[in-house]
Structure formats: structure tokens, C-alpha cells
Structure 1
Amino acid sequence: MSALLHPSRWTLRTKLVAWVLLLFLAVSLAVGGLTVVELNRVLLRQTDGQLLASATGMQAQRGGPGNAAARGFGGGGLGAGGDYLRVDLTGPSTVLYDQFEGSPSPMAYAIEGGRGHVLSASIVEQINTAGIGRTPRSVDLGGSLGEYRLIALQPAYATSPTGQPQQENLATGAFSALPSTTPVVTVIGVPLGTNNKTIQQTAIAIALLSGAGVVLVGTLAAYIIRRNLEPLRRVAATATRVSKLPLSAGEVEMTERVQPRDTDEGTEVGQVGAALNGMLDHIDKALTARQASEMQVRQFVADASHELRTPLASIRGYAELSRREREPIPEGVVHSLGRIESEAIRITALVEDLLLLARLDSGRPLERKPVEVTSLVIETVSDAHAAGRDHSWDLDLPDEALEVEGDEARIRQVLINLLANARRHTPEGTVVTTSVRREGAGVLFLVRDNGPGIPPELVPHIFERFTRGDSARTRTEGSTGLGLSIVHAVVTAHHGTVRVTSQPGDTVFAIWLPDRQLAESAEIPENAADVSGAHSTGPDQSAGKVSV
């Protein structure tokens, strides 16, 4: 609903349909309004023609104004259904009063539906003050009369074939004789109710037709625009599929292309499609070149690591043999030989790590055997305790034994690397807790420490190769920056997932491994790293803490 209130967020199709409807509605309103205005003008012209013709006829019949004029007008039949109005004014609120068919009749009356009635003093006063002249004018008389079109005849002197004419003041009801020299102004008019009704019906008809037109035009516009934008939608679908391809690493098979029917450069959409295909071709070539370069580097690392193992083993062997010589060896030489041996051991470990990463990158399959992870965790934590007695090592294990399918040596190396990472980069006295529990169709390993934490800017890159956080965490030993890279590579090779959350005083590495290697990779639940206390999630997973 919020998107509807922000036109900038509408789709192109919605914008086009909306603009078409707005233009159609604007044209419909303009045409309808002009039609109603023109119809009103034509009807008024016809009404004015009737009034002017009647006024001319009455003026010709007058030898002088009076009842004769009233009789002539009374039979004129002006207006629809013969409805009309007449007022003979002799002064403000004063009308001509005469005998008609033996009865006194005021010359201020209206005929509606064949029946006449005398106009009230307020209506007479309204007509008298409306400034009616010899040009027709519309006046709203209110009440049942409504709007009338009125015109005034030229003034004439009052005469009467039945005797002395009289006048009546409708405001007071007083009668008085009318001198023959008194000018009388006759106002005649016809009702505009029929005209107004015709205009109203026409306006309603135009509104209904415009509404139906909006629906029809909207439906047709949506269909036509959707059909014409279908090529653009197909191009966008191709771009969307390409955007979801894993292009960051590994061999990428870029087969997505815009269909030939959408690459006609004679159209705008075709130009976009052709440009997208050209860009995909360049990207495909670049990815192929990158993959070839990566494979060369990996092959070089693997070959170099393999070749370095033999001379490193020789260096270690010769250094050890030299230190075992029976002849006295100077203390300085013994120290140097010891340093050579230790450095050879350290370089050998680095070479082994590089060789392992190269093998994992090449997709070499791992062993698939049942691994009893509970005893594996106990053994690795015991080894970590032996290597780092200045830390506190806790275990949090379930009552039942847990088992996954995988490569035991590689899983052990993952745990060793995580515990070694916690030992190297946290100060003395840090509590490191390792826990294991069942999580869905797999097992969740958690390694938590209460050390200083990982800098936020380093967390997104923590599993990249040669990433080291020595600037933020206390460094007590040398680090190659490959430990966590190996963790990520081994877990990924087991179709598992790894995640880290860190803040000062609470750093958690969470690893999830599936029970069976045929299982698809799954995401660690959002609350997997939200553990505290005994980390118990139910009777079947209850555990107690064990300090090692």
C-alpha cells in the first residue's frame, strides 16, 4: 500500500497506464465540460429567441398596455408545456390589478403545468430589483419556481376595457386607482427547469460514459503496454538470473543470454538486449581468464607446497642429527640448530596449510565416514588445554553421543584451528567454552570466548586468507592468517555453514555440519549463536559445564 503512495517507486508499466488514464480523463473532462457549456448556450439561445419573439408580438398587439396585453400573452404558450411568468409592474412591489373574466386579477402570476398562481410580494420585489431589461436575463426565483429567463417590454400607459385600472401593493395589500399616465413595465419569462434538467442529464451521461471509458481504456492500455513491455521484462529476467549466479569465486559457467528476438537494435529494448549480451560476453571472457589464472596460482601453490615438503624435512632432519653429534658442539651452534629446526617446523605447518587449501580448492573429495563428534570435541579441547594452561577451557556437551558423516581428520583440524585462534588472540584468563548440540538435520558446534572481541570492520573478512586481527586482539604467537580460511574451506566442503558474531566480551564461532553429506547446505538458525548458561534446549540436549 505504501508503494502506491510513492509514484517514483511504481513500475514502468504502472506509470504508463496511469499517464494514459490521466490523459484520457483530462480529455474527457475537457470535452464533456465544453459540451455542457455549448449545450447550455444553445438552449439559452433558443429560449431567448422565444422570449424575444413573444415580446415583439406583445408589443405589436398593444394599442396601450393593460389587460389586452395580458390576454394576448396568456394565450402565447411560451416555454415547455406552456409554462411562463408575467408581471406588470407599476412601482416597487406594486402591480397592475384588473378585472379578468369577471374576477379581479393581479397581473403578477405564473402558469405551471396549466395552472396559474399569484406571485408573492417577495418574488415581485426580487423581479423589480433584478434590473430586467430588453436583454434576456436569468434569475433564480427560489422555491417551486426555480430559475427563469426574464425580459422586460417597453413601458406603456395603463388602459383597461373594463373600466379604471387599479394597482395593488402586494407588500401592504392596499388598492388604489391607477392614473392613465402611469407607465407600466411588463416582465415576461419562461422557466429554465427543462433546460437545466437537460444539461444535468447530459452531464451525468458524459460522466458515466467517461467512467466507462476510463475502465475500458485502462484495461486496453494495461494489456497493450504489457504486451509491448514483454521484451523488456524478458531482458530484465535474464539480468536477474545473471545477478544470482555465484560469480565471486570458482569456475563460472556463464550461459545466460538475451534471446535473439529481443536483440533487434532497431528498437530501444533490442538495443538494451544487445548491449547486455555484449556485456555478458565480456564478463564471460573475464571470468574464464580469472579462473584460468586462479587455477594456475593454485596449481603453483600445490606444486610448490608439495616440492617444499622434502627439503623442509631434510632441513629438520639434518638439524636434529647435528644436535645429536657425539662431538662437543658449541652452545651457540646448538641454539642456532634449534632455531633452524623450529622454523622449519613452522614453515612445514604453513606449507601443509597451503597444500590443504589447494586440495580443497581443486575439489578433491573428502572421506565420508561416521565421526563421533562428542569424543572428538573432548580430545581437541584437552589438547588446547595442554597448549594453553593460562586459559580456562570449558565443555558443554549433550547427554547423548552425536555423530556426523565426514572426514574426521579435517573436522578435528577445524576444531583445533578455532581453539588455537581463541588461545592466540585472547589474553590470559580468558574463558573458552566449546559446546555441541543437535540442530535440525545436523550438529551445531559453538566456540565462545569472553575476550576483547573482533573489530567490526574485520568480521566480514575474517574467513579470507591471510586475514589477521593482531592489531585488535592480543597477539601471543605467530599467525599465518590461514587458520580460519581452512575452517571455512573444510566446512564448505562438508556442505555445512560457518558464522561468527563478536562484541567485546563475547565472541562466538558457530559451525553447522549435516548428518549426511547428501544433505543440502542449510543456513544456521538466527539464534544459533545466542547461547548462554548450559545451552540447554530440551531434555534430550541437556548438558552441564565441564572445566578442563
Structure 2
Amino acid sequence: MLKQRMMHALRTIVVPRSLRYQLLARSLFILAALLLLIGMSQYWLMKSFLYQSKADAMQTQLMSLPRDLLVQSSTDQKEWERPKNGPAAGSGAGNGAVRPDRPFLFLPDMSLAYISADGVFTDISGAENSGNPSPSPSPQLTAAEYERLAAKDFATGPRAKNTEYEILSNAAGEEQLVVFHTIGPRSRSGGPALLQMGTATAPLQDVIMQQLIIFASLSALALTGGLGLYLPALRRTLIPLSRIVHIVKQTDAGNLGERMPENQGQEEIDRLSASFNGMLERFEISFHTEREAKERMRQFIADASHELRTPLTSIHGFLEVLLRGAASNPEQLYNALNSMHGESRRINKLVEDLLLLAKFDRSPQLQVTAIKLDALIYDMEHQLQMMAGERSLQLQIGENREGEYDADKIRQAILNLFHNAVQHTDGATGSIALSLRSTDTGTELSIRDNGSGISEEQLPHVFERFYRGDASRTRKYGGAGLGLSITKSIVEAHGGTIKVASREGEGATFTITLSIRSADGDK
């Protein structure tokens, strides 16, 4: 456990979880990497530039050196080949050599060597009589490499290419930048003679390192200054995000209506605010819907309990009457049994309606077949006439296209609406009109009556469960306020809509709109 805590603390120290410090660390890391890349590029570019400039200058010096200071005539050369100078001194016979008896003016920190046409190497700057105050041995290449160099053209000038140079180490281990220059014509035995000039690279490296130190110091100052300037700017930049965090902490079910500002000047923060506001809106709708559902459920349970309690109370009362001796009286027995039978039918009807609504709420199961609604209504005409009694019944049925419907459910919806019209119209002067017509998109069925109508206050609630505009009349006909709710569920299960238009005292018109559903599912 202790080890896990220590590892967690270490991770927290090494990689802070704060967005501010993570952005700061990553920005500084990227800036440091860029500065390092710039420094490395500067090192190689400066090194190449300095070496090339030094090589061009040395090549120019080689070309400007007087030849008579370096090359001896053939007559003087014979004298120089005497044994006092040793065998090596005469190795350049016939090709010119350096005069050993003349003082040689030479720049310090320079090395100079002469390579004869025969490939004999003579270190001029390293000789005792060279006049060089600090003799530096010249680096020496192989004979094959000198032959390759003698075949090149070392011309200089405005049109000449960059001078070729080599980085070599002499016998003392000193690194030198070396250039070459041909002198004299080609001999029969080989190419022309070569002059080799070199200079130590240490001074050039010192210049480069000095520039790199200056660049590193300036980079460190830039990083330090950037850190001091970036922290306040970063803190100010993250203020909108901190504001969102503060608002989120204070958000609960009681203030879901509050919204965040969506115009704070930062596109990402504005998008986050808009997304969070959308989430709050969805939460608000969900909570509101849940509260309404709970309220409807509570009202539904209360209404269902009331509707069931009333017939059960009646049945219980009749049973008590029978137990007190009414069973011996045939007339009272018949009336009690008849009343209990009616109440039991009412309970059975209520339970069936509740089960039907529960099925529609869960997942409506329709047994669709190809039918024509006009034929279905004509089949129901006799039943509708019996329900209407002495009321006037008018059927205005137009020709209808065949579609896919659940015939039993459509029949139940029509009967519910017709029964509702019967309940709210006068038995003698009532008039009910049922019309069916085809539209461009489907079928429109309407049932119109001349009854008492529906007030404006009642219109929004007519399709609610257990809602009854006139409780006394619906109680008389055994209604529980579920017929219109069932009708709406049936219509919506078929993908249709139902609406009502009414004025108090002027009757009501219920209109069902259904789309034509073909056998293959097209509309």
C-alpha cells in the first residue's frame, strides 16, 4: 500500500495532472527541441561556412606565393643534392625543390609541404630552416591519394567552384584543414608537383563553440523569459475553462435551467459550453419527463384504484344485502345479482382496457391485413345504427384504397369515438355523421356530433387516461375515461394522428388521419 502511494506521488511530481502545467511543460519541451535543432543546424552550417572560407583563403595564399621562393632552378638543385643534405634532400632532382639555404617567410599556425611529381613528400614548415617559429608537422597522405589530387584542377577565382579541402591529422595528432595546389607542368613520369597547406582547426572550433555558447545562453534566457510570460498568459487563457468547472460543480437537479455563456472568445471553450448546455437541456427534459411520468403514474394508480373500488364496493354491498336475508326474496335476489353482474362486467372491461394500454405502451403488436376502410365501415353500419338508437346517423363514405391495417383495432377505435359521440348527444335530437375520404397521402376519417361540445379548458386533456369531462354521464354508461386514450394509442400504432375540434354547446369533431400502408411497407 505504501509503495503504491509513493508511486502515485512520484507520478504526480513527474507528470503533473494540472492542464496548465502540462501545457506549459509540453510547450517548453517543444520550444527546447526547436532551439536544439536550430543550434545543431547552426553548428553544422557555421562549421561548413568557416571551413570553406578558410579553405578559399588558403587556396588564394598558395596561388599568391612567389614560385622562386619555393622552387629551385635545376643548377642550384644539383648543389643541394650534395651528401651534406642527406639522401632525402636530393629525392626531388629534376622536378624542383625547396631552397634550404634561403630564409622562408611563413605564417604561424600554418603547415606547408611539397610533393614532387615523383611523389616525394617534403615537409617545409616542419623543417628546422623553414623560418617557422612554431613548426607544425604537415599531415601526409598516401602516394595514390596524391596522384589523384595531382590530376585535379585547383583553379580559383570568381567563377571557380568552392575549394576542396581535407580534414587530416598529422603525426602529433593535431587536426588540420588542408588544401592543395598544383605547380609546374606535368612530367614524363607522372603529374605536376603539389603544394599542400594546412592550418589547425582548433581556432575554428573555438569560434564555433563560442557562437554555440552564446546561442545556448540566449536560448536559456529565452526559455526563462518565456516561462515568466507564458504562465500568466496561460492562466488567463484557462479562465473560461475554470469558470465552466465552477458552474459544473454548482449544477444539480434544482438548477438545470441555468446555461453557460457560449461566446467567451475561444472556439473550443464555446463548443464545450454549447455541448454542456445541450446536455443540461436534455437532462432538464428528462427530469421533467420523469416527473410528469411519475405524476401520471400516480394519477393513473389513483384513478384505476378509484374505478375498481367503486364496482367492488357495489358488489360488496349487494352481497351484504343478500347475506342479511334478501336472498329469500326472488325480486331482491334478481336485482342484486343483475347489479353485481353489471359491475363485474364493468370491472372486466376496465381490466381489459388497462391491459390493452399497457401493451401499447410496451410494444404495440398489430395483426395487419390488406383491407379497405370503406368496406370495413359498411360492415359496421348495422352495429353503429343500433348504438345510435333514435339519433340521426349519416354515413359519408368515399371510395378508399386498400391498405395494411389491423382490422379489429381500427374497428375498436371507430366504436370508441362513436360511443363517445352517443354519450354526449341527446337521445332524440342527436345527430352523428361519420365520413371517410381519401387524400393525397392517405385516408381521413372523422366523426362529428351535435352534442354538448368540449370547453377550451377540457380540450388539451380529452386523450388523457381516466379523464372525463362529465363524470356523471360517463358513469351512467359505464365509462372509465379510457376510450379516447385507447383510440389514440391505436391510431399512433398505425402511424397516424388524431385530433379534436370543438366548441362548447356546438358539438365535437374527431378526425383520424392514416397513411396508406402497402403490403411491402411503402407509404
Interval containing the TM-score (normalised by the shorter chain) = 0.3 to 0.5
Normalized per residue, which structure has more strand?
Answer: 1
TM-score by length of 1: 0.38
TM-score by length of 2: 0.40
Normalized per residue, which structure has more helix?
Answer: 2
Structure number with greater Rg is: 2
